[in-house]
Amino acid sequence: MPTISNMLGGTYSLYKNAQQNGTLFNSSKALISNTGATASMFNNFYSSQSSAASAASGIGEVSANVRSLLSSYDETSKTFYSEFDSAMSNLKDSAAAIKRMDFNVGGASAVTTTENEDGTTTTKKSEALVSALKAVEQLASDYNDAIDFFSDNGEVSKRMGRLESLFADTTYRSGQYDSIGLKVDGSGKFSIDEDKLTKAITEDPDKVSRVLSGLADKAEGHVDVATSQRDRLFPSVNDMFGSQLSTASVYTGSAYARMSGYGNVGNLLNMMF
């Protein structure tokens, strides 16, 4: 799946290519430039009409390119915010589930081991223990997804880069998380040692609850910070393309049509008098 950053790159390239290959402004210059009428009145008039027609064709291309650009920008922006909202909502839900979870699952009795006739053993975990493990796995997965989102789209804006660093602060307490079976890599993402986590839950559920409640609080706090900046994370059209898009709108709107008409009338009057 392409990242938002890649999609933005494609959108920006669409505009720049249109500008560079002459479809944005180059052809329009013929309409408003001085053609230096030196032939007969009618030849010059028809020549100016031809130039205007050529310019109109170029302006049509400009208009189409601008519409494509804005459509692409709009689609990219909507995708960005949809992914952002989903990542933040999922993380907040899994953090809340952890804080509601009772890790007192019955101690050692939550895991039973049965010897099979062929000499192998089968380990069975109680429903309470399985539910606790799933809740921890979900929190870790959703936290990792949030980190991936900010990492993949860190170049979209400076705010995104700062939020990526904020969510990566789990590295500061990696030893504490590791003690209950949650390993933290250099980016702040989690991986779970299920055997170690199972042992921690059955032997010291209060510690597990304390550590994970702290992580859940951290996750909720980070989500609140990110959500408070939601409307400023993705660059606006003006921030993205600057004054060039405003300039393009002048040459693709009704203002240019009026300029074209005035120019043709002016050429005809100059040739008549």
Predicted pLDDT at 28 = 41
Q: Which residues contact 188 (CB under 8 A, 6 or more apart)?
A: 147, 167, 168, 169, 170, 171
With 0.95 as the threshold, say if the pTM is over it. Answer: no
CB contact at 8 A, 136 and 182: yes
In sequence order, which ranges of the chain are alpha helices (DSSP H)?
4-20, 29-32, 41-100, 127-152, 158-167, 174-178, 194-203, 205-228, 237-241, 243-252, 254-272
The DSSP result for 89-106, as a single string, is HHHHHHHHHHHH------
CA 48 – CA 38 distance, rounded (Å): 12
Predicted pLDDT at 144 = 97
Residue whose C-alpha is closest to residue 18's, from 258, 211, 241, 260: 241
Predicted pLDDT at 62 = 57
Structure token pair of residue 217: 């609080």
CA 90 – CA 83 distance, rounded (Å): 11
CA 89 – CA 244 distance, rounded (Å): 37
- Write down the domain spans for the chain: 4-272
pLDDT tens track of the chain, all 273 residues? 455 555 555 554 544 454 444 444 444 433 333 444 434 444 544 455 555 555 555 555 556 666 677 777 788 888 999 999 999 999 999 999 999 999 999 888 888 888 887 878 888 999 999 999 999 999 999 999 999 999 999 888 889 999 999 999 999 999 999 999 999 999 999 999 999 999 999 999 999 999 999 999 999 999 999 999 999 998 876 766 655 555 555 444 444 444 444 344 344 334 433
CA 37 – CA 267 distance, rounded (Å): 9
Predicted pLDDT at 35 = 45
